[in-house]
Structure 1
Amino acid sequence: MDEIEQLNRKFQGKTEFAINAYADMSPKEFRETMLMPRRAAPVFEKERLFNVEVKGYLPQSFDWTDKGVVTSVKNQGTVGTCWAFSTIGNIEGQWAMQGNILTDLSVEQVVDCDSTKDPANDRADCGVFGGWPYLAYQYIKKVGGIEPEVRYPYCSGNGGCYPCPAPGYNKTLCGPAVPSCLKNESCHAKLDPGKFIAGLNVTDWKAIDKNETLIAFALMKLGPLSVAFDASLLQFYHKGIYDPPLCSKTELDHAVLMVGFGEDKELFKEKPYWKIKNSWGSKWGESGYFRILRGKGTCGINTQVTTAVLAT
């Protein structure tokens, strides 16, 4: 309570902090339970970047949540699976953007089955211990599809299942695997390609330049985007525009979904922000969302912006 009061005095109402579901955790416990190990964002080659077409001026605000391409807020529970929620949120949006019915896709399939590695950048997807959306796109492309949530529901973060690590789990890149698990609750026992969403095929993925004006134009054109940032100070967030003075622009520990942008009017100026869908449940933050300062690379929000490319 004392820390929350200090934060509210420091931010003077521009960002509000409050008791929430994570307030009984120490900062260390919060990082180890809710976030991924802090890692520098991989630098993608220029050929990987999406060619953003800039036409005219940006509107004052834009929001995909009222356009039928964003599913409801989910809750990852007490494991580091945000990377899979961010990946799936992007693909759900891409699928709906093609005129298909907005469908909740299986996060658990990605958590259970994806062990994609990027040795050149010392990165891998590690199930409940974190991962990277750009690698998850590659997994879904390789395996040939994704099941709907209703067929392969999320359970690893809420105590509903105890899956073993994905086939090919890399201890060198991911660290020790879970100490105990159930084989009949794991990928090889549950994955059924026959249940993949018909016609939903990931063919490639693209990264977006760090320039936040280009990111805004890409967001409007492509749909909700997967992003990652340093969320180590997000524990007590309640509402407002998140702009902590001490957060890293290079070390990332949480992946989320960028769904819009806007501006808050202040005395003599306007404060631009990104609207972000989190995976900590709808009771957290602004009904499961938060806003973060736009235009200054706040907490590295502009360093790992990616999207899947689906077959048309």
Structure 2
Amino acid sequence: MSTNINTLVTKKMNFGTKRAMASYAVWALISFAVLSLGSCRYAEDEDSARNLFKLWQKEYEVQYDSYLQAEEKFHVFWDNIKYINNLNKEYSGETEFALNHFAAMTTKEFKQKILMPKRQPPVFDESRYIRDRLGRDIPDSFDWVEKGRVTPVKDQGDVGTCWAFSAVENIEGQWIAAGQKMTNLSVEQVVECDSNVDHSGNSTHADCGVFGGWPYLAYQYVMKAGGMETGEDYSYCCGLGGKPGTCSICPAAGYNWTLCGDPTWFCNMTQSCGAKINPKKFVPGLKVVDWKAIDEDENTIAEQMMTIGPLSVAMDATLLQHYHKGVFDPIFCSKTALDHAVLLVGWGVEKDLFSTKPYWRVKNSWGAKWGENGYFRMLRGSGICGINTAVTTAVLQKP
């Protein structure tokens, strides 16, 4: 079934002022995204695609520098409409896909800008792992968001800083667990100041600022730094894509060119760590003293999450670009090539007349408009996309 965007917009725009018309246009885009899923499809003809592209630009406040750039992006957008329609047909509504703020990115551009270079799951010294089962009953559902242990969804923007968001949000959860008030901690501090390198295990890992990193190395940075500023005092700016408040940071001292590649050719030292960090503003009493990895067994992960709080995880997120809702169970997904870090916050079971799907609930760092209000659900129990292979948590000093 095909929905005509022109008809949808016309029906809704006959009732108001010019101000209402703008509001209805945004409503039409959102409604169309919802209505087009399942057995429905986005219209694929050029006129409908162009109209939808204009509404998409308004909804996400996207502007281009030239007509040629806008045309190039439109054709990417149009290709993605067809691709999303094919995904929805292929997944038959089990997982639903829709246009979002990545709709004008090619898959290659999405991988280069938003995801990290693919890497193997790290292997730690055995003393790092929590492998014991606690013998607790695992309920059908559990959610730290509902329990007030998770800060609001954030947006990494157009750079590969997911690793820092995942680590910092894990620390935020531990801080709340220690009886402290919910506090947004500084992701930017970690991105700008952390250049940790780990030479242990089977390969060498490094934190590379806007080009990716590892949550466990971020914990080590916070340990060495002695604390963290709040997100308000040291605000996020490196991924804003030219919007007000954007910064052009220089690589952290000790940046590893061999492991991380060439840094950006433009930077501003006055916008970087050395000029901005202020230990006097570190949150009083917040100190990371250690970190742990969790066994790959997903029942162990669930038990430990009930005890510890939200956990940092890494995964292969290539097919998440156009995710909209449902339990994510991709047909093709690597368990050993990880390119995105997120936060495990809970789990549940989706049931219908014909099947039962256990899932993880996961907090992403792509803004609250993406997915299920900034979250997604992932099939639980079979290590889909390697989500169980790099599970870690910070350990905070007890008050």
Q: Shorter-chain TM-score: what band?
A: over 0.9
Residue aligning to 2:38: none
What do the CA deviations read for 1:183-237 (whole angstroms, capped 9, x no partner)? 1000000011111011000000000000000000011100000000000111110
Letter in 2 for 1:214: T
What do the CA deviations read for 1:47-80 (whole angstroms, capped 9, x no partner)? 1012544224210000000112100000000000
SS class of match (2:367): coil
What do the CA deviations read for 1:114-135 (whole angstroms, capped 9, x no partner)? 0000123211000000000000
Letter in 2 for 1:231: A
Residue aligning to 1:64: 144
Aligned with 1:250 (options 329, 336, 357): 336
Q: Distance in 2 between matches of 1:76 and 1:52?
A: 34
Residue 268 of structure 1: how far off its partner (Å):
4.1
Q: Which moved more, 1:200-209 or 1:45-54?
A: 45-54
SS class of match (1:89): helix
Q: Distance in 1 between matches of 2:131 and 2:281?
A: 34
2:116 is the alignment partner of 1:23: no
What do the CA deviations read for 1:149-188 (whole angstroms, capped 9, x no partner)? 1100000000411110001000001000111100100000
Q: Distance in 2 between matches of 1:86 and 1:202?
A: 15
Give 1 or 2 for the bigger CA radius of gyration. 2
Q: Distance in 2 between matches of 1:278 and 1:171?
A: 28
| Pairing 1:274-289 to 2, within 5 Å after superposition | 274-289=360-375
Contact 2:136 2:303 in 1 (8 A): no
Residue aligning to 2:175: 95
Which ranges of structure 2 fall in alignment gaps of 5 or more residues?
1-80
Q: Distance in 1 between matches of 2:361 and 2:373?
A: 12
SS class of match (1:256): strand
Letter in 2 for 1:153: S
Letter in 2 for 1:81: T
Which ranges of structure 1 fall in alignment gaps of 5 or more residues?
none
Residue aligning to 1:241: 327
Contact 2:172 2:185 in 1 (8 A): yes
Residue 24 of structure 1: how far off its partner (Å):
1.0
RMSD: 0.9
Residue aligning to 2:154: 74
Query: Greater strand share, 1 or 2?
Result: 1
SS class of match (1:2): helix
Contact 2:359 2:379 in 1 (8 A): yes
What do the CA deviations read for 1:92-125 (whole angstroms, capped 9, x no partner)? 0000001000100000000000000012321100
Residue aligning to 2:92: 12
| Pairing 1:184-263 to 2, within 5 Å after superposition | 184-263=270-349
Aligned with 1:114 (options 183, 189, 194): 194
Q: Distance in 2 between matches of 1:99 and 1:248?
A: 38
Contact 1:256 1:276 in 2 (8 A): yes
Q: Which moved more, 1:102-111 or 1:47-56?
A: 47-56
Q: Which moved more, 1:154-163 or 1:90-99?
A: 154-163
Q: Count matched residues.
A: 312
Identity %: 59
Q: Which moved more, 1:90-99 or 1:46-55?
A: 46-55
SS class of match (1:197): coil
Letter in 1 for 2:189: Q
Query: Greater helix share, 1 or 2?
Result: 2
Residue aligning to 2:229: 147
Contact 1:69 1:97 in 2 (8 A): yes
Contact 2:131 2:300 in 1 (8 A): no
Residue 45 of structure 1: how far off its partner (Å):
2.1
SS class of match (2:362): strand
